Amino acid sequence: MPPSSQPELARKLGLFDATMLVIGGIVGAGIFMNPYVVAREVHSAALILGAWVFGGLVALSGGFVYAELSARRPSVGGQYAYFREAFHPAIAFLYGWALLLVIQTGGMAAVAMTFAHYFVSLTHVGLSEGAVALIALFLLTTLNCLGVRAGSNFQSAMTVLKMAAICLLVFAGFVWIDRPSIVWTPLLDRPFSGGLLGAFGASLVPVLFAYGGWQTACFIAGEVREPEKNLPRGLILGVLGVVALYLSVNLVCLYALGPEKLAQTKTPASEVMRLALGEKGASLIALGITISTLGFLSQGMLTAPRVYFSMAQHGLFFKSVARIDPRTQVPTMAVVLQGLCASVIAMSGSYATILNYVVSVDFIFYGLAAACVFIFRKRDASSGRPSSFPVPGHPFTTLFFMVSCWIVVATTVAKYPRDSLIGLGILAAGLPVYVFWSRRSATEKDP
């Protein structure tokens, strides 16, 4: 911990902020497009909706897991801190390494380019999509350097607007489309077999990817008031809200398009709005997607830098990244680092490839986080330290989440072996880097 004379992170965020961070960290552009990816794997309305229901159960069980972890260990850096205490500093470092090089930064670069595409299409501004993406990342970096309150307020506003866009999509589809295409029979698109189970498993990969992101709210535990209470509540409220939004979107897509047409369009949300309100509707949902992507970027810029800040505090990264601005009480260099890395990857054009590596790496750490619950419970039982929010149904709920995550990893490796191996290779490459930083830190501590 830094000396008391040094600037510290400011606890300025409450339950509403935490809930908006959870929703903002999950909902990006995926829900507006991913329904068609699922419909290409399974072809009946029941199976399509069933995949999203199952994904919602996994997300909710994950919300329970992280709620208990954040209640037991309300530490800056969230998942990084859990791994450091439960396993070994090397595991924690590898998570931060993967977050910076693959998970967070690659996702932000891709979303920045998606935002730029819709922004240019809507405004016809005389700038390239790359320039718009860079400007957006620069402005969000600057905003989050001004203070956690400024960054959180903007992120919360974007989250409320993206929720309004989803509600508009659902309302317009159900009210103004008078010829529903949804058919509930047959329940299965083929006889029950290994092939059906494999297809359903493959459909869960984009679903769980779309549901991922709730854990990032835990990164800012050091800036939440009463984190042992507000973070768990925010996690559960946020995940429940996202499940409701996602199921509503898929219902309206099936209602308006039916399974066959849904599988044929790569822009299902736009197609639903076009059927409901014409081209004006398509433009409205394009505006909603623009806002949603900007909100996702804002959330990432606010939360992820706290992991790099924690790594630097422990001597496993550049010292400057651990510095807190005495005026804004923000780890400014950590925020700038996130913005620069996302900008470089966005301009390199490699973000699409990096996204293929994300699932296999990210879900390994989700599973490890669930294992932390067992470890912390055992340790805390001996010291008489209870949790203010135990996982309901533990150990079954926790095991369900853990096994689901590692099934996703196995499915992804089987379906995309080359991309998965590259992602795992990037992860393994962090080991010698960890050795370097840990030795350097030890040397600096020696008299």
The whole-number average pLDDT for the span 118-131 is 91
* Count of beta carbons in the 10 Å neighbourhood of residue 295: 28
The region of weakest confidence among 16-20, 381-385, 436-440 is: 381-385
Model confidence band, residue 136 (pLDDT cutoffs 50, 70, 90): very high
Residue 285 reports pLDDT greater than 80: yes
The pLDDT of residue 351: 66
H helices present in 101-128, as ranges: 104-123
The pLDDT of residue 1: 42
**CA 175/CA 443 separation, integer angstroms:** 67
- How would DSSP label each residue in 165-215? HHHHHHHHHHHH--S------SSSSS-SSHHHHHHHHHHHHHHHHHH--GG
The pLDDT of residue 147: 87
Taking CA atoms, 276 is separated from 33, 75, 164, 271, 403, in Å, by 17, 47, 17, 9, 41
Higher pLDDT, 64 or 8: 64
The pLDDT of residue 352: 64
Instruction: Classify burial at 361, counting beta carbons within 10 Å of its beta carbon; exposed 0-12, middle 13-18, buried 19 or more.
Output: buried
Higher pLDDT, 182 or 211: 211
Over residues 265-280, the pLDDT tens digits come to 888 999 999 999 999 9
**CA 194/CA 40 separation, integer angstroms:** 17
The pLDDT of residue 355: 66
Model confidence band, residue 138 (pLDDT cutoffs 50, 70, 90): very high
Over residues 302-344, the pLDDT tens digits come to 999 999 999 999 999 999 999 998 888 889 999 999 999 999 9
Over residues 236-248, the pLDDT tens digits come to 999 999 999 999 9
Give CA angle at 82 (76, 87), nearest 5°: 140
CB-facing half-sphere around the CA of 212: CA atoms within 13 A: 24
The pLDDT of residue 447: 53
The pLDDT of residue 256: 92
The pLDDT of residue 203: 86
Contact assessment for residue 170 and residue 306, using Cβ atoms and an 8 Å cutoff: no
| Helix, coil or strand: residue 13 | strand
Give me 314's structure tokens. Answer: 């422990």
Q: Which fold has domain 15-445?
A: Amino acid/polyamine transporter I (1.20.1740)
pTM for the complete prediction?
0.89
The whole-number average pLDDT for the span 104-133 is 90
β-strand partners of 224: 13
Over residues 35-89, the pLDDT tens digits come to 998 999 898 999 999 999 999 999 999 999 999 999 888 887 889 999 999 999 9
- Select from 183, 203, 188 the least CA-distant residue to 255: 183
276-281: Cβ within 8 A, 24+ apart: 276/172, 276/173, 276/175, 276/176, 276/177, 277/172, 277/176, 281/172
The region of weakest confidence among 1-15, 161-175, 278-292 is: 1-15
Cis (ω within 30 of 0) for the bond into 180?
no
The pLDDT of residue 190: 77
Higher pLDDT, 203 or 340: 340
Give me 375's structure tokens. Answer: 């470890």
Average pLDDT, the chain: 88
- Sequence-distant (6+) residues with CB within 8 A of 206 are 30, 34, 37, 38
Give me 11's structure tokens. Answer: 């606890």
The pLDDT of residue 382: 78
Dihedral sign (CA 257, 277, 265, 136): negative
**CA 55/CA 108 separation, integer angstroms:** 22
- Select from 38, 429, 442 the least CA-distant residue to 211: 38
| DSSP letter assigned to residue 126 | S
Residue 191 reports pLDDT greater than 70: yes
**CA 445/CA 210 separation, integer angstroms:** 43
The pLDDT of residue 4: 47
The whole-number average pLDDT for the span 377-396 is 84
